[in-house]
Amino acid sequence: MKAEIKYQNKTYSLDLSKPLDISLVLRGDDKNPIAWYLNPPKIQPVVDGDFIGKVTSGSSTNFNNISFNPHGHGTHTECVGHITREFHSINETLKNFFFTAKVISIEPERRGEDQVITEAQIRSLLKVDEVESVIIRTLPNYIEKRSKKYSHTNWPYLEEAAARYIRECGIKHLLIDLPSVDKEKDEGKLLAHKAFWDYPKNTRLDATITELVYVASKVEDGMYILNLQIASFENDASPSKPVLYKIQ
């Protein structure tokens, strides 16, 4: 199925029959990725007296409760309400769902015990007003990212200047394959979050950050159209399903 999308007086051709899903699957077992010191999510049938919401247990339907945390259990999209005293909902923030996008791959630089994505690295791959969204794939790109236990691993992170430059490029939607754009244990500074959202001086209420994506190695660096799908949660963050379409 062919489609055309216009952006900044340009027309892009897409093949909608070839989506590239870059979200992680939410599972109710130990194979689920986990961050922020959480236990695995739970997907369990409702039990009410003799009723068990599972066809193999005699019910007419499968009827599950799901318990999870969007920030720690999989791909999620968050708005600035993640770091503000005031309530902001991702459901109210994200009103458009298709964006021009660029996938870039970066091997973070070693700085002592840290691994850092630097401003210089981003500058070499991203230009001002080039696209509306950027997807950062960190290297090496192990398939184990799909089930990795990130707690206490000191994962790579964006330096503050890199996040600021991404904002200055006009990027409204930042996606990354890590649990956070910030250092795991940063004493609550959240420098990259704040720099990207320009918080608190000129807060960008319409900008989002999507974390814990997984960009398979078969997805080439380059230009795409991003369909950023969320569940309608009145919360600072929602589980999400970003899907890329290669520009023809």
For position 12, what pLDDT does the model report?
Answer: 85
Per the structure, the count of domains in the chain is 1
Q: Is residue 56 part of a domain?
A: no
Q: Is residue 65 part of a domain?
A: no
Read off the CATH number of the domain in which 161 is found: 3.50.30.50
Q: Are the C-beta atoms of 111 and 145 separated by less than 8 Å? A: no
pTM of the model: 0.96
Q: Is residue 207 part of a domain?
A: yes
Q: Is residue 236 part of a domain?
A: yes
Q: What is the dihedral of CA 164, 6, 212, 181, to 10 degrees?
A: 0
Q: Is residue 183 part of a domain?
A: yes
Domain hosting 128: range is 2-24+71-246
One digit per residue, the tens of pLDDT, for the chain of length 248 reads: 787 877 767 888 999 999 999 999 999 999 999 999 999 999 999 999 999 999 999 999 999 999 999 999 999 999 999 999 999 999 999 999 999 999 999 999 999 999 999 999 999 999 999 999 999 999 999 999 999 999 999 999 999 999 999 999 999 999 999 999 999 999 999 999 999 999 999 999 999 999 999 999 999 999 999 999 999 999 999 999 999 999 98
CA distance 140 to 38: 25
Q: Is residue 66 part of a domain?
A: no
Q: Is residue 49 part of a domain?
A: no
Of the candidates 193, 237, 229, which has an alpha carbon nearest to the alpha carbon of residue 79?
237
Q: Is residue 34 part of a domain?
A: no
